[in-house]
Chains A and B, each alone.
Chain A
Amino acid sequence: MSTSTVQPTDKAGLRRLASYAMLIVYLLFLILPIYWLVNMSFKPNVEILNQLTLIPQNPTLGNYANILTDPTWYMGYVHSLTYVILNTVISVTVALPAAYAFSRYSFIGDKHLFFWLLTNRMAPPAVFVLPFFQLYSSIGLFDTHLAVALAHCLFNVPLAVWILEGFMRGVPKEIDETAYIDGYSWFRFFTRIFMPLISSGIGVAAFFCFMFSWVDLLISRTLTSTEVKTIGVAMTRTSSATGLDYGTLAAAGVLTIIPGALVIWFVRNYIAKGFALGRV
């Protein structure tokens, strides 16, 4: 075995083994906390608090039933989804023409504007909570879905513009020119020819707007109170109440993971691109 001819393959084999070991350890590290949450969501509270069991001894769907029958819980999802979808639609709609302008033309101040958009994606939400609270209170939008949807535009519109611009610059300019020569108006060209060409880009932009709006807690919590109770608020309330209902909390957490987990397969090749604002 120790002859010099097999040594290189030995070494390569060892290296491959080390690679697999590393992947498996990393995957375990990622999966364990999620497994624990899922595990808890199927246990009654008595079992959670009294013994540490790796699989539920008395598996129950009670925690999920709690959520699906209690309006303060399930309406949390409805409220959250409402402002998230509203925000996604607004962000992508206004970002589409803007991204086209950035990718096709140069105009006065274009670079400054593009940079300024980026600074908003990077801005800490904590800086904005107080002014947002005052702004939306003063125009009477406090505690509405629209307020949260508009507030999330702060980071989602820049995100959508940057992502879409990244996709649009990959489309050859000759297509635009040919369409104009053929007598298409800008609007007809844009909706009939251009948008289908970058449909995957639109999908990715919409997905990321959805995601970043969905994961936010700070801004949505600040801008809502009694009318619009988001799922994030419902969850933090449970965790700070005296009698902690861990089972229901875990079930609520599992349910919030589902939208992401459902679409993840379709966007797997675009995730890096989306987080890097369309630049990878």
Chain B
Amino acid sequence: MDKPQNNRAWFMVLPVLLLVAFSAIIPLMTVVNYAFNDTFGNNAFFWVGVEWFKETLESDRMWGALQRQLIFSFTILAIEVPLGIAVALAMPKKGVWASVCLVLFALPLLIPWNVVGTIWQVFARIDIGLLGYSLGLIGIDFNLGQNASAAWVSVIMMDVWHWTSLVVLLAYAGLQSIPDAYYQAAKIDQASRWAVFRYVELPKLKGVLLIAVLLRFMDSFMIYTEPFVVTGGGPGSATTFLSIDLVKMALGQFDLGPAAAFSIMYFLVILLVSWAFYTIMVNLDREEERNE
């Protein structure tokens, strides 16, 4: 990529810079301020150093939320990625049916998140929901409000329902970009279906799958609205993930210091994963150029 050096291009970027700085940097400064200070109100702050970080790192509550968050994120990844690849492989390659599949698959992606929550809340209820009621008929007590495992199954099923299509669409886009010649070569070699997948399709899908994994990890790592509507983080704190816990802390209890310290650590994780995402993107672009 031989782009001419031109520092006046900064003027074109300036509006974006100002706008995002306004909505990102100023709030983050506030967070940093709270993280290192304590207050008795009246805007009087005094320095407490890393006290809040210590407190947060020593609290079981934070570790509990983090643990649940990691279990949640890795579970949905373990389900959505293989399922997404399998569905993408099963999809018609072209024609009207391919379009119909794309449209139907994409539908859950475009539903407001609180409505996704509402849909699953009513779908899983034992009295008026199809799922909960049917499970009740075969003798499974699926009471979201009291049964922690039912709550977990619901939020995981909901996320699989909501986001597997994203993996499908990405994998499908990746499959579309494989030239026919590759398949013909494999046919001449009499490669088995598995061999075609393993040595032709999977290597070509590597890039999009990495994007899918990172996007799904990030978005599930900050999930708030859907589980909040379905379970409210309960029963107890069984489905209280990081964001739910943070909002509870910050807006519910106004524990500004711990919430801010929590936020900063949360943000560092995000930064790390974003960096991985960025590196992969840059490498993909470079690879594409080499192939052209």
Contacts and interface: CB of A to CB of B under 8 A. Distances in A.
B16 A265 contact: no
Interface of chain A, main secondary structure: helix
B229 A115 contact: no
A128 B9 CA distance: 30
B9 A101 contact: yes
A113 B169 contact: no
B12 A119 contact: no
A98 B16 CA distance: 7
B30 A134 contact: yes
Given A48-B128, A126-B243, A271-B106, A100 B12 contact: yes
B119 A253 contact: yes
B16 A246 contact: no
B119 A130 contact: no
A30 B104 contact: yes
Nearest to A207: B110
A218 B246 CA distance: 12
Interface in B241-292: 242-244, 246-247, 250-251, 256, 259, 263, 266-267, 270-271, 273-275, 277-278, 281, 284-285
Contacts of A154: 20, 23-24
Interface stretch (B54-62, B83-91, B141-149): B83-91
Interface string B8-43: 111011011101101110111011000000000000
Interface stretch (A33-41, A58-66, A67-75, A192-200): A33-41
B106 A268 contact: yes
B103 A124 contact: no
Interface in B82-123: 83, 86-87, 89-91, 99, 101-115, 118-123
A82 interface: no
Contacts of A22: 86-87, 90
Contacts of B76: none
A157 B114 contact: no
Contact of A151 (B9, B23, B28, B242): B23
A130 B251 contact: yes
Category for how many chain A residues contact B: 35 or more
Contacts of B267: 123-124, 127
Interface stretch (B44-52, B178-186, B215-223): B215-223
B110 A261 contact: yes
A265 to B, nearest CB: 6
Contacts of B120: 33
Contacts of A128: 27
Interface residues of B, number: 99
Contacts of A37: 118-119, 122-123
A94 B19 contact: yes
Interface in A19-59: 19-20, 22-23, 26-27, 29-34, 36-37, 40, 48-49, 52
A158 B20 contact: yes
B22 to A, nearest CB: 7
27 contacts: A22-B87, A23-B91, A26-B87, A27-B104, A30-B108, A33-B119, A37-B122, A97-B12, A98-B12, A101-B13, A104-B3, A105-B3, A105-B4, A108-B7, A119-B274, A123-B24, A123-B222, A126-B263, A135-B26, A135-B27, A157-B19, A215-B112, A235-B115, A260-B110, A272-B172, A272-B173, A277-B281
Given A34-B108, A124-B243, A269-B102, 15 more contacts: A23-B90, A27-B101, A33-B120, A34-B119, A48-B128, A49-B128, A123-B267, A126-B246, A127-B267, A135-B30, A158-B20, A218-B247, A236-B229, A271-B102, A276-B208
Interface of A: 15, 18-20, 22-23, 26-27, 29-34, 36-37, 40, 48-49, 52, 90, 94-95, 97-98, 100-102, 104-108, 110, 113-115, 117-120, 122-135, 150-151, 153-154, 157-158, 161, 211, 214-218, 222, 232, 235-236, 239, 246, 249-250, 253, 256-257, 260-261, 264-265, 268-269, 271-273, 275-277, 279-280
Ranked 7 nearest A-B pairs via Cβ: A260-B110, A131-B27, A124-B222, A126-B243, A19-B90, A97-B12, A101-B12
